[in-house]
Chains A and B, each alone.
Chain A
Amino acid sequence: MTGDIAFEMKDITKTFPGIKALDSVSFAARAGEVHALVGENGAGKSTLMKVLSGVYQADGGQTFLFGKKVRFSHPLESLAQGVSVIYQEFSLLPDRTVAENIFLGREPTLRWGVLDSHRMRTETQDVLALFGDRHQFEPDTLVGELDVAQQQMVEIAKALSLNARVIVMDEPTAALNDTECELLFQLVDDLRTQGRSIVYITHRMREIRRLADRVTVIKDGKVAASFDDVPETAQIVEAMVGRDIGHFYPDPANPDEVGEVILAVRNGGNDRLFDINLDLRAGHITGFAGVQGAGRTALALALFGADPFDRGEVTIDGQPATLTSPRQAAKAGIAMLPGDRKADGLVLMQSVRDNGMLSARAFSPALGHPDKTPISTLDQMDRAFDAFDLRAASYEAEIQSLSGGNQQKAIVARWLSLKPKVLIFVEPTRGIDVNTKAGIYAQMRELAQAGAAVMAISSDLPEVLGISDRVLVMSDGKIVAEFGHGVSEAEVMHAATEAHLELEAS
């Protein structure tokens, strides 16, 4: 029951300082269809949707909504015209009720500003009725008491109560388990039947197969492919990856470069990890693949002592190691380069040098001179920066003035000063542009060649496959499969979702 064109974006171009995020992208969706928008992280999917909703304004191109040309300068304007975007980060108030959240900012009132809570409640009830009996909460339930899937329903209900005709969902299943996913799929089916137009952002092939009517692939800010039906998975993947992997990633390790086991985990576990058995060898890069929530980050945090194992054993160079705090893990020779650099890595107001020297200073005598620590001197740090080709106006400049790639180099230099035996990279190239990525991959390889055991965790699957000598696949907190270098994306994806498929079948 596909209907008229709901919205159409033509030749949308958007430039941010130093990066062309969208390059002449055209994208449209009809009423009563689910249009899947796929692409790797940073390909431009979210930017495109932010242009649609008015968070960003396009530098070029036009947008039509139900045949009318529109140009939104604030999300409120697009909301009023029936465009709702549900982001991964919900904009909900946990201490307010479902009804209060749904009517946030547009509460109906009686005389003298008195809230018409009766109307809020009944209208919320009406909207929730669209979900059938699948919602297990009431208009008066506090949002903070709901689980993630239910909170997502509240976001959807909010869109419905605004009578949204275009609903954009940005990776809605990222934090959902399988039962919850199925519930969401049913909701999306309902929305389609109601004649709404749904843009569904994802990179999970299974969901595309289950839901989509059409598929558009975005890559590096351009439309890489557009299908009027749902093609074979391989076709979509090819359009998504479509780059010459050969020269982008360094060569894998020679067998003679691979050394002894440095770190070994036996039967490790905590509330998010189960039966972890793992050997990390010198000279080896071990990549971790898996869907969001599969336990990759939890494993990194466990090894780094931030969210430690509560059972099992860890040995480093054959000696038992206690990793119950980052400080202990670092002393034991483990380094973690966090994925969210801004929140977890950088001390933003300090200089590049202070950021680089931070760990050296943390592990040197408190009253020692900060520029001449036994671990590293300032001169040595400067030379490390030079060697990494770290570009800054000055090493005394505040690190927040640097690009993501250069910030990453400073953090790498910070950890290398401790001469770690195990390096855990979490999302090593997040927010880093394509050209700098190759440099970071080369550096990871060099570190391995210098004798470190390297762990790479990334939600960018091609990256994991390209950089790793060995790929471990995680699912539901367990390591479920192991592959060598050269494994295909399809094989890994199959392994990563196999457990889920089995669950579904049972």
Chain B
Amino acid sequence: MINRLKHMNPVFLVLLLLFVAIAILSPYFLQPAGYMNFFKRAAPIAILAVGQLYVINSGGFDLSAGALVTLTVIGSSILLDGDASATWWVITAMLAVGVVVGTVNALVVSWLKVPSIIATLGMMITLGGVALTWSGGAPRGYLPENFRFFGRYLIKDLPVIKILPVAVIVMVVICAAMWWLMHRTNYGKRLVAMGDNPKAAMLAGVPLTQTRVVAFVMSSVSAVIAGILLGGFAGVSTDVGVGLELQAITAAVIGGAQLLGGRGTVGATIAGALVLQAMFTLLNILGFPKPIRDVVQGLILISAVVIAGYRRRRSGG
């Protein structure tokens, strides 16, 4: 038991401590409305982080995720402009955009041998340009209620938990699916092997390009889904996705994912995302101004990498 604790990822302990601290400082969070609101807010970043984990485990970065979130929100609102009957095809179209963006990212990395950080940076700038061109620089149109349903709607009058935001259901379903793909399929094992040692994986028969395409598509599709949720509860703005890719990377790193590939689990990444969100909540409760979030995020990003490196060296990895 003690031994298992020692090998347990410290992110879960940190998360527990943060929850306790928040609960003590603000008893509101012990009520269903309090913690469910917390999970609802954490949903987009958790989904994004798990998507990002696919790319990180493959040995790369996806910096275009935040810009794709913005594009999803802006694009949906322009296409819909309040027309509820169009919601379904717009969501389908946006998911298709995600698939295209992910595929292009992966092929630029695989075929043109561009480092993923540059490839996705270029994509980020390009998508930002697309969003601005399309919208003319300011948000236009508006999102109908059935689109905002996913981000905003609360299922009420439930036993025990009383309320359940739809965003939380989306988070659970998406994350469960991505957990399954990462940890319970041949694909997931190939992905991690590729990130660990691409040459060995290739020589063992792993199809690298195909594996990479799926990884980047997972990241882009999760960005579209996160965009749909954010459009629901945060509304339409041109900076809704700014910095989210960094939060996603930070969450994965807090969860112990190894940059440049080979090691990282979905469960710990979700915990990492919750830690980040809990940290923001705590800073909020303590009355710090919002920008301090960035400072804390920067410090824990570096510390997480330092600690992970230290643990690995100590265990002789």
**A: which residues have CB within 8 A of B?**
304, 306, 326-327, 330-331, 336, 338, 343-350, 354, 357-359, 361-370, 373, 398, 400-401, 414, 418
- Partner-contacting stretch, out of B85-93, B184-192, B281-289: B184-192
Q: A344-B199, A346-B197 are in contact. Are A367 and B204 (CB under 8 A)?
A: no
Contact A326–B203 (Cβ < 8 Å): yes
What residue of chain B has the Cβ atom nearest to residue A411's Cβ? Answer: B204
Candidate in B189, B201, B202 with the most chain A CB atoms within 10 angstroms? B189
| Chain A residue, CB-CB nearest to B208 | A327
- A204 CB to nearest chain B CB (Å): 30
Q: Is B206 an interface residue (CB 8 A)?
A: yes
Please state if B189 and A367 are interface contacts (CB–CB under 8 Å).
Answer: no
Q: How far is the CB of B182 from chain A (nearest CB, A)?
A: 10
CB-CB under 8 A from B192, the residues of chain A are 347, 350, 354
CA distance A363 to B205 in the complex (A): 7
Q: Return the chain B residue nearest A358 by Cβ.
A: B204
Indicate if the CB atoms of A370 and B262 lie closer than 8 Å.
no
| Chain A residues whose CB sits within 8 angstroms of the CB of B205 once the complex forms | 326-327, 330-331, 358-359, 362-363, 418
- The reply to whether A349 and B203 contact each other, CB–CB distance below 8 Å, is no
CA distance A361 to B188 in the complex (A): 10
28 CB contacts below 8 A, A to B, read A304-B203, A343-B197, A343-B199, A344-B199, A345-B200, A345-B204, A346-B200, A347-B192, A347-B196, A347-B262, A350-B192, A350-B262, A354-B192, A359-B204, A359-B205, A361-B190, A362-B190, A362-B201, A362-B204, A362-B207, A367-B186, A369-B184, A369-B185, A369-B186, A373-B186, A398-B317, A400-B317, A401-B316
Q: Could you tell me which B residues sit within 8 Å of A by CB distance?
A: 181, 184-190, 192-193, 196-197, 199-207, 214, 258, 262-263, 316-317
- Residues in B with CB closer than 8 Å to A345 are 200, 203-204
Q: How far is the CA of A400 from the CA of B196 in the complex (A)?
A: 12
> Which B residue sits closest to A372, measured CB to CB?
B186
Which chain A positions have C-beta within 8 A of B193?
347, 350, 354, 358
Q: Which residues of B contact A348 (CB under 8 A)?
A: 196-197, 262
In the bound complex, what is the Cα–Cα distance between A370 and B188 (angstroms)?
8
Q: Which residues of A are found within 8 Å of B187, using beta-carbon distances?
A: 366-367
Report the minimal beta-carbon distance from B108 to chain A, rounded to whole angstroms.
21
**B189 in contact with A354 (CB, 8 Å):** yes
A468–B205 Cα gap in the complex (Å)?
27
**Chain B, Cβ-Cβ closest to A360:** B186
User: Which B residues are CB-close (under 8 A) to A368?
Assistant: 185-186
- Interchain nearest-CB distance for A402 vs B (Å): 13
Write the nearest CB–CB distance from A375 to chain B, whole angstroms. Answer: 10
| A349/B186 in contact, CB under 8 A | no
Check if B185 sits within 8 Å of A347, measured CB to CB. no
Chain A residues in 8 Å Cβ range of B196: 347-350
Is there an interface contact between B258 and A349, defined as CB atoms closer than 8 Å? yes
Q: How far is the CB of B210 from chain A (nearest CB, A)?
A: 8
A350 — which chain B residues lie within 8 A by C-beta?
A: 192-193, 196, 262
Contact call B185/A367, Cβ cutoff below 8 A: yes
Are B197 and A366 touching (Cβ within 8 A)?
Answer: no
The closest CB in chain A to the CB of B207 belongs to A327
With A and B bound together, what is the CA distance between A370 and B180 in angstroms? 11
Nearest B residue to A341 by beta-carbon distance? B200
Within the complex, which residue of A327, A344, A363 is in contact with B200, where a contact is CB–CB below 8 Å? A344
Q: How far is the CA of A444 from the CA of B258 in the complex (A)?
A: 37
Residues of B close to A370: CB separation below 8 A = 184-186, 188-189
Q: Give A343 to B199 CA distance when docked, in angstroms.
A: 7
Q: How far is the CB of B183 from chain A (nearest CB, A)?
A: 8
Q: When the two chains form their complex, are residues B201 and A347 in contact, meaning their CB atoms are under 8 A apart?
A: yes
Residues of B within 8 A of A369 (CB): 184-186
Rounded to whole Å, the gap between the CB of A435 and the closest CB of chain B is 24
- Min distance, Cβ A299 to any Cβ of chain B, angstroms: 16
In the complex the two chains form, what is the Cα distance from A264 to B206 in whole Å? 26
* Distance in angstroms between the alpha carbons of A350 and B263 in the assembled complex: 8
Cβ contacts under 8 Å, A365 to chain B: 186
Please indicate which of the listed interface residues B188, B204, B206 has the most CB atoms of chain A within 10 Å of its own CB: B204
On whether the beta carbons of A336 and B203 are closer than 8 Å, the reply is: yes
State whether A364 touches B197 (Cβ < 8 A): no
* CB-defined contacts of A331 to chain B, threshold 8 Å: 205
Residue ID in chain A nearest B194 by CB atoms: A347
Give A368 to B186 CA distance when docked, in angstroms: 6
Specify which of A327, A349, A357 is in contact with B263 (CB 8 Å cutoff): A349
